[in-house]
Amino acid sequence: MLDLINVSYDTQIPNNVGLAQDKKVLKALEKWHPGYINWWNDLIPQNFQESMVYLRTAVSVDPKGWAKFDYVKMPEYRWGVLLAPQVEDRRIPMGEHAGELAWQEVPGEYRNMLKRLIVIQGDTEPGSVEQQRFLGLTAPSLYDMRNLFQVNVEEGRHLWAMVYLLQKYFGKDGREEADDLLIRSSGSEEAPRMLGAFNEETPDWLSFFMFTYFTDRDGKMQLESLAQSGFDPLSRTCRFMLTEEAHHMFVGETGVGRVIQATCEAMNKAGITDPYDIDKIRDLGVIDLPTIQKKLNLHYSLSLDLFGQEVSTNAANAFNSGIKGRYMEMRIDDDHKLKDDTYVVRTIVDGKIVAQEVPALTAINMRLRDDYVRDAAGGLGRWNKQIAKAGVEFEMKLPDEAFHRQIGVFSAIRANPEGVIITQDAWDKGVKDWLPTKEDGAFIQSLMVPCFEPGKYASWIAPPKVGIDNKPGDFEYVKLHMA
Amino acid sequence: MAKVIDFQTSPDQYRHWRVEYDGPVANLFMDVDEDGGLFDGYQLKLNSYDLGVDIELADVVQRMRFEHPEVKVVVMQSGKDRVFCAGANIRMLGGAAHSHKVNFCKFTNETRNTFEAAEADSGQKYIAAVKGACAGGGYELALACNHIMLTDDSTSSVALPEVPLLAVLPGTGGLTRVTDKRKVRRDRADIFCSIEEGVKGKRAKEWRLVDEVIPNSKFDDVVQKRAREFAAASPKVDVSKGITLGPLAKTVAEDGSLSYSLVEVVVDRAKRTATITLSGPDADAPADMAAFEAQGDQAYMLRLARELDDAILHLRLNEMEAGLWSFRTQGDPELFAAHEALLADNADHWLANEVRQYWKRILKRVDVTSRSMMALVEHGSCFVGVLAELLFAVDRSYMMEDEFDGDNRHMAAVTLTDANFGPYPMGNGITRLETRFLGEPEAVEAAKAKIGEALEAEEADELGLVTMILDDIDWEDEIRIFAEERASFSPDAMTGMEANLRFAGPETMETRIFGRLTAWQNWIFNRPNAVGETGALQRYGTGVRGDYNMERV
């Protein structure tokens, strides 16, 4: 009898899908495994590979107590294939097959669409690890370093999850696509990652926090909508990935929050009340709030691009075929088919931004993006409370969706953060106040000096309120190997 | 679609293409303006194209030959990131009338053939440098190039997704070029044409879908290097300067009639006819090719060609109900022969060659035009050489016999020249006379023996060069009756019948593209599975799949 809750470590690849009995897929995965290990080894600087990192490893897919914490060398991390438990009699939640039994095998007619979605999702997972590969060198604390590595190994595991689906369900093509996931590489001239945002650098830790807050949140939304999939193995995979993704969001939100906290505390201590007194604030060794806002503007707008075109045929096809749903599909009170429904999308008509009703099916991307915007606003509220509590007059804001876009209808125009269409001239004049400048980058870079002493934190970031796994403040999250 | 579609354009008006000239290499960038569609209701996203985009491309290709004879290699590439070309715009196709779709495909096919043949005809080799998605009509653009280079970035692919995605066929020779030109094995072609995502990297090379797969980091360099190599190896003679193709003097009347300097088109919408009259030369032939070059686009043989070409295209797209075209000529046959002879005697001269190749293309355009066509050899006409080819291109020809009462023009005659025996083959690879006399090849020889003679009605009839000779008594009535009869038939049946009868003889890739692929495509374009309210083409973009009638026909 297969144990589908607890992770089996009886093969090289921990899993709860009975890999030991599934010789073909096991063989395929074992063949893929060395390439993955090489990828990982080439990626992460050597001294970190040898270090003992206090990581959580999934041991079960039971929402309660699914992970255990222990020291582990990253290359020895047990990347595994974990799917949320199968729900008996699960039905396809949306589209023209709504109500039919969920597919346990790939339906031939949707094979390409499914494969493409899985490949794109899979391509983002290692992409972010590649973007963040050098951050360990400038970690502001061992606590943060540990969080970085946790995020990294879990992105690695998410890659495994997608690779498993490709190998198990998509035959020879799937195996080739799995190989290609290790060939493409972030920012590579040779074979870049598929989506633009995953080819941008993550040059500093504030970027990392912004990335985990905003860009991983796009990942969360995508996973949420794939978790609705009528293709049950994909749905189950994504449901489990979401458990892990929550930690990434946590790292982002608390990370930015701690940067803000350090800034506000330093300002108060020095008696600076004007948040725009930038030079003086920077002299304190903290990042001024306007610069944090600029970083936010950048990462938020890049992340909006990940949702693709506002009106999209692919998204419509995926929804109608039952491959990809909406955020919280099961909680939405409609017929889940959307054949005659409309949805309001903002677009540009005669140089003005106007709201337009379009067929709801084609606006699936837009709807998910709207849900994302609401979801992303939550953390901002908490940061602003923090700022207010510190008595500083400043408020973080999400820029308008029209601001700084490369994809979608707004990519054709220039808009300021308030969403007012402006001329190229006005943009050129204003951009230094809206997006990080080279000088801002250089200043942040100057703060990026490692702080590797247990319990100590770099000047620009406050310690966390509680430790990981409830460990005390001076816990040695990473036992550095300093060869 | 009431607006007039104009086939004339010029580089200063381009919205979708740009060319960077670099000695013998021209870099041709496709950078389609999303909002530059010919009609409302769609956006040309991802370098997708409509007729307007293709009109510009045809203009680029034409000017490349006449205005830039120094160019030996043209590198077709995308001006956009991550996409080469996504093919014909689907929303445009979904919204277009059947007749527009068919004529659109015909024109795009002719343009593909033109740049494909540019290497053999003019020594201008088109190569495709493919980066990013290259799908459907995008891959067909590449297929018509004579060398395809694909970047190996593990994302870029070539694809023909029409069948799985849209339930139609690739419309510009895709299937035929995959098997006939690229010589892809049929089972691999079967896989290739039924998968949406296409084939990338080394497999694309292995399957012969592309000629080269190049590492992404070296791609641009290798492309430019290859272009230089091809240019260096080109047998094309160096020409330092081309001529300029100025705008045509053209007026369009309210009733649809057209007027150029040498071509008059009278459109009779009530009778559904168009009468195209070509004028003979208005001056002596240039003394030599230098003089011809100095006249440039005003040289008679070129001016006539350009005006006729534009008239054909104009009528095809703008006067769709004019189902019967009559070709007439009026002018001095000997003078025309002198103009033609200058080109024939200097066939090696670059410009003489270009003008002759251009006539070849125009005659092929006539061949594939879906109109009933007749030629009227009247007194005062000049059906000589290349103009006499029109007699063999049309479905029927009528010739005046003997003197007509009160008509003092010179006697109707047909004069054959070398032009009728080789330089202007049809798409099937043989001449119109060879095709005409497929069952009696000796008739071709008999006609050849008469080169240079002004053949009057009786003799022309005997040689089989015209359909019917008519005297003063019968002329008007016979022609009127033919025209009325023709106008009463089903246009669909006419198109099908004529296309079948016109292309006797051997099959070539070109005839297969027009005769086989296009016919199948047009059939599919008319079937509910594609264009019905619940068909794939209509539903494309809505997210809802096409409903198919599963009966195999």
- Give the predicted TM-score (pTM) of the model: 0.87
Q: Which residue segments constitute the domains of chain A, with CATH numbers given?
A: 19-479 (1.10.620.20)
Q: Which residues of B touch A117 (CB under 8 A)?
A: none
Q: Where are the alpha helices (DSSP H) in B7-74?
A: 51-66
| Structure-token pair, residue B306 | 């350009």
Question: Which of chain B's residues have a Cβ under 8 Å away from the Cβ of A313?
Answer: 540-543
Query: Residue B542: which of A188, A191, A362 has the nearest Cβ?
Result: A362
The reply to whether residue A96 touches residue B196, judged by beta carbons under 8 angstroms, is no
Give A321's contacts in chain B (Cβ within 8 Å).
545
**β-bridge pairing A421-422 and A414-415:** antiparallel
What are the angstrom distances between the C-alpha of B369 and each of A281, B58, B364, B373, B495? 77, 17, 9, 9, 9
Spatial distance between the Cα atoms of B121 and B359, rounded to a whole number of angstroms: 12
Contact between A190 and B541 using a beta-carbon 8 Å cutoff: no
Residue B262 amino acid letter: L
Q: What's the confidence (pLDDT) of residue A3?
A: 57
Instruction: Answer yes or no: is pLDDT of B419 > 80.
Output: yes
Is the CA virtual torsion B408, B410, B413, B414 positive or negative? Answer: negative
> Edge-to-edge strands of the sheet including B147-152?
B17-22, B25-30, B73-78, B125-130, B147-152, B212-215
Place of tokens 């649809």: B256
Q: Which of A216, A162, A150 lies closest to A36 in space, CA to CA?
A: A162
- The residues of chain A scoring below 50 in pLDDT are 1
Give me the residue from A116, A180, A309 closest to B154, CB to CB: A180
Range B222-248 average pLDDT: 96
Contacts of B547 (CB under 8 A, 6+ apart): B532, B534, B535
What is the chain B residue with the closest CA to A123? B155
pLDDT value of position B135: 97
One-letter amino acid of B241 = K
Where residue B1 falls among pLDDT bands split at 50, 70, 90? very low
The ipTM, to two decimals, is 0.77
pLDDT bucket at B240, cuts 50 / 70 / 90: confident
Reading the block at residue A128, the tokens are 């972010």
How far apart CA B536 and CA B529 sit, in angstroms, is: 6
Which residues in chain B have Cβ-Cβ distances shorter than 8 Å to A362? 541-543
Bridge partners, B469 (sequence order): B399
Q: Return phi, psi of residue A356, to 5°.
A: -135, 140
> How does strand B83-85 pair with strand B133-135?
parallel
**Other Cβ atoms within 10 Å of B458 Cβ, number:** 12
Q: How far is residue B388's CA from residue B515's CA, in Å, rounded to a whole number? A: 25
C-alpha to C-alpha distance for B344 and B336, rounded to whole angstroms? 12
Q: Which pair of structure tokens corresponds to residue A432?
A: 């230094």
Average pLDDT score over residue span B260-269: 97
Q: What pLDDT score was predicted for residue A9?
A: 64
Label each residue of B401-433 as H, E or C: CCCCCCCCCCCCEEECCHHHHCCCCCCCCCCHH
- Sorting pLDDT into bands at 50, 70 and 90, what band is B516? confident
Q: How far apart are CA A462 and CA A286, in angstroms?
A: 10
Q: What percent of chain B clears pLDDT 90, i.e. is strictly above it? A: 88
Name which of A183, A309, A364 is nearest B154 (Cβ-Cβ).
A183
CB B124 within 8 A of CB B71: yes
Q: Do residues A405 and A301 make contact, with C-beta atoms less than 8 angstroms apart?
A: yes
Query: B230, B127 in Cβ contact below 8 A?
Result: yes
Do the Cβ atoms of B545 and A190 come within 8 Å?
A: no
Please write the tens of the pLDDT for every residue from B29-75: 999 999 999 998 899 999 999 999 999 999 999 999 999 999 999 99
The answer to whether B177 touches B140, Cβ cutoff 8 Å, is yes
Residue A14 or residue B344, greater confidence:
B344
Do residue A364 and residue B543 have CB atoms under 8 angstroms apart? yes
Contact B217 A313 (CB under 8 A): no
**How far is CA A132 from its chain centroid?**
12
List chain A residues with CB under 8 Å of B34: 412
- Mutation test of the interface with chain A: which of B538, B544, B548, choosing the one with the most A Cβ atoms within 10 A? B544
Give tens-digit pLDDT for B299-314.
999 999 999 999 999 9
Q: CA-CA distances (angstroms) from residue B204 to B184, B186, B429? A: 10, 15, 30
Domains of chain B with CATH codes: 14-231 (3.90.226.10), 253-495 (3.90.226.10), 498-539 (no CATH)
With contact defined as beta carbons under 8 Å apart, do B469 and B399 qualify?
A: yes
Q: How far is B216 from chain A (nearest CA, A)?
A: 5
Distance from C-alpha of B437 to C-alpha of B385, rounded to nearest angstrom: 18
Say whether A112 and B153 touch across the interface (CB within 8 A): no
pLDDT of residue A44: 84
- Tell me which of A94, A313, A350 to substitute to probe the interface with B (most B C-beta atoms closer than 10 Å): A313
The answer to whether the beta carbons of residues A177 and A171 sit under 8 Å apart is no
Q: How far is CA B380 from the centre of its chain?
A: 30
Residue A219 makes CB contacts below 8 A (sequence gap 6+) with A124, A245, A248
Q: Mean pLDDT across chain B, nearest whole number?
A: 95
Dist. CA B315–CA B308, nearest whole Å: 11
Which residue of chain A comes nearest to B132, CA vs CA?
A194
B195 has a chain A CB within 8 A of its CB: yes
Closest CA to B104 of B18, B1, B248: B1
CB atoms within 10 A of CB B249: 11
User: What does the alpha-carbon distance between residue B222 and residue B495 come to, in Å, rounded to a whole number?
Assistant: 46
Residues 6+ apart with CB under 8 A from A238: A223, A224, A226, A227, A229
How far is residue B494's CA from residue B515's CA, in Å, rounded to a whole number? 15
How do B383-384 and B413-415 pair as beta strands? parallel
CB atoms B215 and A190 under 8 Å = yes
Statement: residue B544 has pLDDT above 90: no
Q: Among B197, B217, B542, whose Cβ lies nearest the Cβ of A190?
A: B217
With residue B455 as reference, give the H or E element that holds it. strand B454-456
Contact indicator for B452, B415 with CB cutoff of 8 Å: yes
Provide the pLDDT for residue A1.
Answer: 43
Residue from B154, B162, B194, B550 to probe the interface with A (highest A Cβ count within 10 Å): B154
